[in-house]
Amino acid sequence: VTAVLHHKVAVRDVSQQALCTVFAWLHLSLTCRFLCTGVYCDLSVDGIGTCWPRSAAGELVSRPCPEQFNGIHYNTTNRVYRECQVNGSWAPRGNYSQCTEIIILRKSKVHYQVAVIINYLGHCISLGALLLAFTLFMRLRSIRCLRNIIHWNLISAFILRNATWFIVTPPPSHTHTHTHTHTHTHTHTHTHTHTHTHTHRCWLVTAGYNYFHVTNFFWMFGEGCYLHTAVVLTYSTDKLRKWMFICIGWGIPFPIIVAWAFGKLYYDNEKCWFGKRAGVYTDYIYQGPMILVLLINFVFLFNIVRILMTKLRASTTSETIQYRKAVKATLVLLPLLGITYMLFFVNPGGEDEVAQIVFIYFNSILESFQGFFVSVFYCFLNSEVRSAVRKRWIRWQDRHSIRSRAVRATSLPTSPSRVSFHSIKQSSNL
């Protein structure tokens, strides 16, 4: 036993150079004993301790990243590269750019998990606000003009999209976080479940989610068309019809998703149609129109703000109030026209860990709370909605007050004639 222990200690204390020599001998014995000719770079150990075996001139050699250096643990599944130059000498230093600290990986994983929770809570809050806004638009018939009908349909599209999002996304405790790069919007934390027992049902859910996603953008385009017509083109909005916007918002996305579904079925029929195979671009069938809609809405926003600034300059209000109104109008229009999605193109990526984490949080908050912002700006803060709700509340209070007075009047211990006189007086007051 003592001999075995001493042997283990001896092996553990072998120097890095000796281990590299053993590795080089094995490499030569297995691969180069009868084939090695020409110019070669000799065995080498760099300053970090990575062993570089004897290699042919002009070859780019890769080795696993060091397990530990200066007390920092690294991910050994990544590789470090060093070139054996044509003259038989090693490059002055190896390329260690892919060697990542394990502690950073753990921190990133924690941030991704937090972003998933934020995303889930944001969709929950948005769905609740959207349902309340939908109910208000449905019950308040007095405010049903074309502008509010467009708002109502946009909110409906957000509700359906959020509802299908919960179907395709498991709860945070069961999620496996992935980072997908979407050309049309962003790189953000998405979690999808592929445990559907029936493939056709899985395809249908995915197609439904993407359809409602596209309808969001086209109803935003409808909002932009209405505002641009009313503010910039100065046409009478009475010429606009509800069926036009229904065709834009609900009709146009349908053939787009059907074409995408056929493309997925024949060219990328994997992973329940989530994600995409390398070199296959079927997702651009629906992402392309979404990008186009955002660009058109950006032009609409520019023209609308330009006209608003012109009108504000012509007014008699102070310059500070003018700019305040312009900024307020712009901020209100941003979520309505979907311009916030343009920010998802700015993906820091690269090796800047802090910038990537900030981008993940920013994306999760902005994307998941989009429905909440739309509900607040275009329903809860809508002056017509608030006025109609206030009238309903006053009417309810009046009815409740009349009932209360009637109950109190009938409960008074008075004679029949007095009760009758009191009732007549109450009736005359009403």
User: In this structure, what token pair is assigned to residue 192?
Assistant: 């999808």
pLDDT at 176 over 50: no
Min mean pLDDT across 5-9, 91-95, 150-154, 367-371 is at 5-9
Q: In this predicted model, what pLDDT tens digit does every residue of 10-22 receive, in sequence order? A: 333 344 555 565 5
Mean pLDDT on 410-422: 50
pLDDT mean across residues, the chain? 73
pLDDT level of residue 110 (50, 70, 90 thresholds): confident
Residue boundaries of the structural domains of the chain: 14-21+33-100, 103-389
Cα pseudo-dihedral 31, 34, 39, 42, rounded to 10: 50
Model pLDDT, residue 12: 38
Question: Helix 102-139 vs helix 353-368: angle between axes, to the nearest 10 degrees?
Answer: 20
Q: In this predicted model, what pLDDT tens digit does every residue of 318-361 receive, in sequence order? A: 655 655 555 565 566 666 666 667 666 565 555 566 777 788 88
Model pLDDT, residue 297: 84
Reduced to 3 states (helix: H, G, I; strand: E, B; else coil), residue 82 is strand
Model pLDDT, residue 327: 53
Which residues make Cβ contacts (< 8 Å) with residue 226, sequence separation at least 6?
A: 146, 147, 150, 237, 240, 245
Model pLDDT, residue 322: 54
CATH 4.10.1240.10 fits 14-21+33-100, yes or no: yes
Most confident of 97-111, 115-129, 383-397: 115-129
pLDDT at 160 over 80: yes
pLDDT at 128 over 90: yes
Cα separation, 256 vs 259, in Å, equals: 5
Model pLDDT, residue 352: 60
Model pLDDT, residue 123: 92
Cα pseudo-dihedral 190, 193, 199, 201, rounded to 10: -80
Model pLDDT, residue 122: 92
Which residues make Cβ contacts (< 8 Å) with residue 32, sequence separation at least 6?
A: 54
- Amino acid identity of 22? V
Distances (CA, A) of 123 to 107, 204, 400: 24, 21, 37
Q: In the block, which residue shows the tokens 């090796």?
A: 351
Reduced to 3 states (helix: H, G, I; strand: E, B; else coil), residue 245 is helix
Cα separation, 45 vs 20, in Å, equals: 7
Distances (CA, A) of 17 to 61, 80, 401: 18, 18, 94
Q: Is the separation of the CB atoms in 113 and 354 below 8 Å?
A: no
- Greater confidence (206 vs 316) lies with 206
- Greater confidence (87 vs 7) lies with 87
Q: In this predicted model, what pLDDT tens digit does every residue of 38-69 receive, in sequence order? A: 788 888 878 777 888 888 888 888 888 887 77
Q: Is the separation of the CB atoms in 194 and 272 below 8 Å?
A: yes
Give the percent of the chain with pLDDT over 70. 64
Q: In this predicted model, what pLDDT tens digit does every residue of 236-282 receive, in sequence order? A: 667 788 888 999 999 999 999 999 988 888 887 776 776 666 556 78
In 3D, which of 129, 139, 186 has the Cα closest to residue 162? 129
Model pLDDT, residue 317: 60
Q: In this predicted model, what pLDDT tens digit does every residue of 185-237 receive, in sequence order? A: 343 444 444 444 457 788 888 889 999 999 999 998 888 888 888 777 766 66
Q: In the block, which residue shows the tokens 């307020």?
A: 328
> What is the Rg, in whole angstroms, of the alpha carbon atoms belonging to the chain?
34
Output the CATH code of domain 103-389: 1.20.1070.10
Model pLDDT, residue 104: 53
- Among left, alpha and beta (phi > 0; psi -120 to 50; other), residue 356 is alpha
Reduced to 3 states (helix: H, G, I; strand: E, B; else coil), residue 396 is helix
Residue 221 neighbours by CB distance under 10 Å: 24
Q: Is the separation of the CB atoms in 347 and 105 below 8 Å?
A: no
